[in-house]
């Protein structure tokens, strides 16, 4: 048997081995990194639209801006202390403000605030309601309100509200229409559309003769401020533990977002460990069974061999994909991923068993096996110490080749429409397919590319290992 | 052992495997309570309809209750839900094995077949099989023919730029899932360029009404089938070329090829009489098995193109929980594969002398 070092050196002597090994290390590093940063219960967060409220929908990656695309930037700022505290018309106003620069001909998708640990002010037994307002100061000097919300603290006992889950509010479209009509257009006799109201916050306007409104992006610096109106004698330094102000842009992160705002970079990242777990789990188990059955079948012969061969015959004739689909379909959603792996293991070891058996048949005739028998070694020991090590290099190559199979099966089943709840590459593709958005390239291309890269990695690695263990192949 | 005995033994083993696969399917459907859930839903539906007619006939509440209970029990007995699953499954197993595939109880299955509901499972399969042949079998056939022509040539040009290009192409397309390629092609060539259709279900009309106007139908069928065929050929040609090349290379290195050359045989004779002859068993195996496999349809790829073939039929049967169609198709998939395997056993007698004389 060769040592790890020798193996490594030989692997590195082939181009395909080098590339395969490099890609393999890349996959391992990505998986470990994903496991380290993946929050617990991420599976549920991924499927919960509420979790993705502060994200733009169907937004391309941020870097498209550098390619000259006109997509409004996405900006988010988190505060723990107010930027200013003033007393105005009988209120103490705590203000958190951020600057947003609109530098392209495009509109941001939304303005969202998330408030955590909002202080409850009481007078005697009564809680005093607090007005929460988000104002947008535009480059033209106009100030429009995007959110107006009064929190009454009904049923709140402690000194703070929204400690665990934040209070989330996004721009109120009806309010924006009112504001635009009264503060900019000075008339309500025009046609403004509610669904695109957020765009009006960032627009310059022109009223046409038929009372419709022509609007286009108003570029320049905007000041977005989140204001809390408390009674004058409030003692707090900050009315909240944490406040996050987000101008939801029209592009996001490294890989963009999908139709419910999910950050695809996260989904793709967490796809790494899941893919490797599916691939390796299935490959290891089926290779192990195939090796064992093949070795036992060859060594014992007789009725053991005959019955195992019949078994191999049957699983070899099973229409695998239809069976897989049927079995996964009748499994509850939460256990489907495990079911995919189980089915692929149960029906996946036949091919290897046949090869190992034929190799084992010739090894069995070697004199050292007879010698081992003569000195009274048990059958199990002979199989494990003398037969299996001989076929091991071939088994390793076969293991590596079989890793992508399960990953691709999982992806295929997801795309077909069999949900399993985990954020995998196949699942991301499936979502794009269900939404019918083949045109969103940042949604369709990266997951498929990663799937292809996975196959390529293990094929290259497998080919290099095969060449090492089977020198006859070197001239191929 | 004589040749006849060997073949008989193989035939028995394959038939046994076939029966076990059908038995397994029945087991999955029956033992998990899958079919019981479906029957219960159907019974509830029928009972509700019956109740509605009774109320219309202005029967009293007590009468309705009694009659509905009677009707429900009758249905439960009729569908065999009062018996354990293995008793219920027995006729299903026998009927399937004797090609008595029964009637599909899904509207979706009839929809894919393109005929009015209810459709016999056998009819649905016979309607979908040609469509799968048009798309997938033809694509595989194109791959096979091209690979058989070019493969040996590449093997001879081993190490050249052309050879390396083909090997890289094979590695690349082997890695790309064909259904993903399909998604991208539909978008790019269908939606953006407008060269090919984007909705493929309509092909049903031209295939089912082929005889009305064969010329126009052929044109339309070709137009519909072209992008799926192109996708499959691009995705699989690489693997085909690579494996034919590898099979030929394995033979080319053998000593008897050198011997043939050494005794002065012209290269063309060496190739046709020695190389191709010896490489034929594995090549024929892979051709026959992939053509047989293609008849079952590529469930995911057909679903991406919404192509109404065997694969889509199976997927629709699964989503509408149509037990007769699921069973019938599983039986067909296995039967086709096993027949192909047996055909190979017979072909090997001609192709591989070692089989004949061992």
B147-201 pLDDT per residue, tens? 988 888 888 777 788 888 888 888 888 889 999 999 999 999 988 888 988 888 8
Interface contact A327, partner B, CB < 8 A: yes
CATH of the domain at B163: 1.10.3720.10
Q: Is the same domain home to B136 and B264?
A: yes
Q: What gap in Å lies between CA A86 and CA A95, rounded to an integer?
A: 8
Q: Is the same domain home to B182 and B255?
A: yes
Candidate from A326, A412, A452 with C-beta closest to B300: A412
> What is the DSSP track for A291-358?
HHHHHHHHHH-HHHHHHHHHHHHHHHHS-HHHHHHHHHHTS-GGGHHHHHHHHHHHTTSHHHHHHHHH
Q: Is the same domain home to B162 and B246?
A: yes
Whole-number percent of chain B with pLDDT over 70: 99
Q: Is the same domain home to B38 and B80?
A: yes
Report CB contact under 8 Å: B315, A416: yes
DSSP annotation of A180: I
Q: Is the same domain home to B254 and B330?
A: yes
Report CB contact under 8 Å: A322, B180: no
What pLDDT is attached to residue B250? 81
Has residue B111 been placed in a domain?
Answer: no
A345 vs B97, residue with greater confidence? A345
Average pLDDT over residues B25-42: 83
C-alpha closest to that of A220 among A100, A67, A70: A100
Has residue B155 been placed in a domain?
Answer: yes
Give me the residues of A, 374-433, that contact B with CB < 8 A.
Answer: 404, 408, 411-413, 415-417, 429, 433
Domain boundary among B79, B106, B133: B106
What pLDDT is attached to residue A31? 93
Q: What gap in Å lies between CA B114 and CA B203, rounded to an integer?
A: 10
Has residue B114 been placed in a domain?
Answer: no
Q: Is the same domain home to B89 and B140?
A: no
pTM over 0.80, yes/no: yes
Q: CA-nearest residue of chain B to A450?
A: B176
Q: Is the same domain home to B55 and B196?
A: no
Report CB contact under 8 Å: A460, B16: no
- Compute the count of residue pairs across chains A and B with CB atoms less than 8 Å apart: 121
For residue B172, the chain A residues in CB contact (below 8 A) are 452, 456
Per the structure, the complete domain to which residue B90 belongs is given by: 3-106
Report CB contact under 8 Å: A453, B249: no
Average pLDDT over residues B310-322: 90
Please list the ranges in chain A whose pLDDT falls under 70: 1-13, 470-476
Has residue B163 been placed in a domain?
Answer: yes
Domain ranges of chain A: 4-47+263-473, 70-248
Whole-number percent of chain B with pLDDT over 90: 17
What pLDDT is attached to residue A11? 67
What pLDDT is attached to residue B69? 84
Has residue B113 been placed in a domain?
Answer: no
In whole numbers, what is the pLDDT of chain B averaged over residues?
86
Beta bridge pairs of residue A102? A220
Report CB contact under 8 Å: B21, A453: no
B268 vs B220, residue with greater confidence? B220
Report CB contact under 8 Å: B177, A452: yes
Q: Is the same domain home to B191 and B259?
A: yes
Cβ neighbors of B107 (< 8 A, separation 6 or more) are B117, B320
Average pLDDT over residues B280-287: 85
Domain boundary among B82, B106, B130: B106
What pLDDT is attached to residue B4? 80
| Closest CA–CA distance from residue B224 to any residue of chain A (Å) | 19
Cβ neighbors of B220 (< 8 A, separation 6 or more) are B203, B206
Q: CA-nearest residue of chain B to A321?
A: B299
Token pair recorded at residue A37: 């940063």
Which among A308, A407, A412 is the top mutation candidate for probing chain B, defined by the most B β-carbons within 10 Å of its own β-carbon? Answer: A412
Report CB contact under 8 Å: A456, B171: yes
What pLDDT is attached to residue A476? 44
For residue B330, the chain A residues in CB contact (below 8 A) are 319, 322-323, 326
Interface contact A326, partner B, CB < 8 A: yes
B320 vs B352, residue with greater confidence? B320
Q: Is the same domain home to B96 and B127?
A: no
Report CB contact under 8 Å: A429, B183: yes
The domain over range A70-248 is classified in CATH as 1.10.287:
no
C-alpha angle A62-A67-A68 in degrees, rounded to nearest 5: 100
Report CB contact under 8 Å: B177, A412: yes
Q: Is the same domain home to B187 and B76?
A: no
C-alpha closest to that of B241 among B301, B172, B155: B155
Average pLDDT over residues B236-249: 88
> What is the DSSP track for A108-122?
-SEEEEEEESEEPPE
Distances (CA, A) of A399 to A11, A280, A290, A405, B277: 16, 8, 10, 11, 33
CA-based torsion, A364, A365, A370, A372: positive or negative = negative
C-alpha closest to that of A134 among A265, A18, A267, A244: A244
Q: Is the same domain home to B198 and B253?
A: yes
Beta bridge pairs of residue A214? A206
Token pair recorded at residue A468: 């090492």
Fold for the domain defined by A4-47+263-473 = MetI-like fold (1.10.3720)
Domain total for chain B? 2
Report CB contact under 8 Å: A459, B186: no
> Residue A135 in contact with residue A100, Cβ under 8 Å?
no
A30 vs B72, residue with greater confidence? A30
Q: Is the same domain home to B186 and B71?
A: no
Has residue B116 been placed in a domain?
Answer: no
Domain boundary among B46, B77, B106: B106
Q: What gap in Å lies between CA A73 and CA A103, rounded to an integer?
A: 8
């Amino acid at each position: 048997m060769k040592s790890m070092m020798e193996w490594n050196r030989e692997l590195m002597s082939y181009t395909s081995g080098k590339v395969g090994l490099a890609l393999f290390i890349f996959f391992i590093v990505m998986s470990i990194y994903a496991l380290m940063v993946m929050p617990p219960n991420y599976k549920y967060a991924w499927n919960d639209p509420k979790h993705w409220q502060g994200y733009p929908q169907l937004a391309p990656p941020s870097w498209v801006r550098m390619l000259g695309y006109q997509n409004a930037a996405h900006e988010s700022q988190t505060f723990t202390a107010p930027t200013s505290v003033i007393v105005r018309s009988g209120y103490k106003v705590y203000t958190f403000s951020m600057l947003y620069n609109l530098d392209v001909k495009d509109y941001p998708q939304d303005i969202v605030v998330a408030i955590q640990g909002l202080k409850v002010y009481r007078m005697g037994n009564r809680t005093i309601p607090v007005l929460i307002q988000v104002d947008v100061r535009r480059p033209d000097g106009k100030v429009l309100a995007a959110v107006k919300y009064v929190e009454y603290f009904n049923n709140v006992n402690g000194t703070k509200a929204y400690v665990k889950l934040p209070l989330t509010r996004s721009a109120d479209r009806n309010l924006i229409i009112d504001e635009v009509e009264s503060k900019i257009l000075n008339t309500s006799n025009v046609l403004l559309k509610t669904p695109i109201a957020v765009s009006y916050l960032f627009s310059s306007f022109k009223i046409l003769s038929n009372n419709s409104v022509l609007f286009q992006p108003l570029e320049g610096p905007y000041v977005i401020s989140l204001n809390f109106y408390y009674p004058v004698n409030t003692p707090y330094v900050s009315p909240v533990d944490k406040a996050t102000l987000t101008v939801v842009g029209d592009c996001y992160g490294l890989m963009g977002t999908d139709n419910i705002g999910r950050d695809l970079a996260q989904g793709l990242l967490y796809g790494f460990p899941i893919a490797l777990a599916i691939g390796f789990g299935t490959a290891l188990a089926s290779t192990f069974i195939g090796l064992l059955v093949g070795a036992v079948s060859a060594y014992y012969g007789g009725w053991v061999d005959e019955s195992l061969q019949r078994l191999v015959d049957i699983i070899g004739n099973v229409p695998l994909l239809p069976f897989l689909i049927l079995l996964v379909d009748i499994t509850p959603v939460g256990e489907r991923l495990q079911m995919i792996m189980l089915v692929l293991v149960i029906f996946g070891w036949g091919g290897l068993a046949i090869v190992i058996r034929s190799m084992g048949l010739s090894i069995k005739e070697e004199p050292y096996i007879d010698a081992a028998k003569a000195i009274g070694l048990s059958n199990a020991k002979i199989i494990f110490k003398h037969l299996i090590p001989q076929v091991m290099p071939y088994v390793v190559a076969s293991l590596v080749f079989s890793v992508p199979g399960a990953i691709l099966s999982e992806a295929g089943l997801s795309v077909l429409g069999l949900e399993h709840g985990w954020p995998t590459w196949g699942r991301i593709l499936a979502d794009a397919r269900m939404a019918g958005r083949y045109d969103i390239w940042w949604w369709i291309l990266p997951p498929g590319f990663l799937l292809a890269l996975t196959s390529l990695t293990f094929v290259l690695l497998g080919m290099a290992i095969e060449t090492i263990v089977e020198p006859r192949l070197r001239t191929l | 052992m004589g040749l006849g005995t060997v073949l008989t033994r193989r035939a028995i083993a394959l038939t046994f495997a076939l029966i076990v696969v059908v038995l397994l399917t029945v087991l999955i459907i029956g033992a998990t309570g899958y079919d019981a859930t479906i029957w219960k839903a159907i019974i509830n539906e029928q009972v509700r309809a019956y109740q509605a007619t009774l109320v219309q006939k202005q029967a009293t509440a007590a009468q309705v209750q009694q009659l509905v209970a009677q009707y429900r029990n009758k249905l439960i007995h009729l569908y065999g839900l009062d018996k354990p699953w293995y008793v219920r499954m027995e006729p299903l197993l026998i009927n399937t094995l004797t090609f008595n595939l029964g009637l599909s109880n899904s509207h979706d299955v009839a929809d894919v077949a393109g005929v009015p509901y209810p459709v016999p499972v056998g009819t649905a399969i016979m309607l979908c099989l040609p469509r799968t042949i048009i798309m997938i079998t033809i694509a595989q056939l194109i791959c096979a023919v091209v690979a058989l022509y070019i493969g040996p040539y590449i093997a001879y040009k081993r190490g050249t730029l052309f050879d390396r290009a083909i090997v890289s192409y094979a590695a690349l397309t082997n890695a790309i899932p064909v259904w993903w390629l399909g998604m991208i092609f539909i978008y790019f060539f269908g939606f953006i360029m407008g060269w090919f259709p984007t909705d493929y279900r309509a092909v049903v009309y031209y295939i089912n009404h082929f005889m009305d106007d064969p010329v126009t139908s052929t044109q339309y069928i070709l137009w519909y089938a072209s992008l799926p065929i192109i996708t499959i050929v691009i995705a699989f040609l690489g693997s085909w070329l690579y494996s034919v090349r590898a099979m030929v290379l394995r033979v080319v290195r053998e000593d008897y090829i050198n011997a043939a050359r050494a005794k002065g045989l012209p290269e063309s004779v060496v190739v046709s009489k020695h190389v191709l002859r010896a490489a034929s068993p594995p090549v024929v195996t892979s051709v026959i098995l992939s053509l047989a496999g293609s008849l079952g349809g590529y469930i995911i790829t057909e679903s991406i193109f919404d192509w109404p073939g065997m694969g889509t039929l199976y997927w629709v049967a699964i989503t509408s929980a149509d037990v007769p169609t699921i069973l019938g198709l599983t039986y067909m998939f296995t039967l086709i594969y096993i027949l192909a395997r047996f055909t190979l056993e017979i072909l090997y007698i001609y192709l591989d002398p070692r089989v004949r004389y061992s």
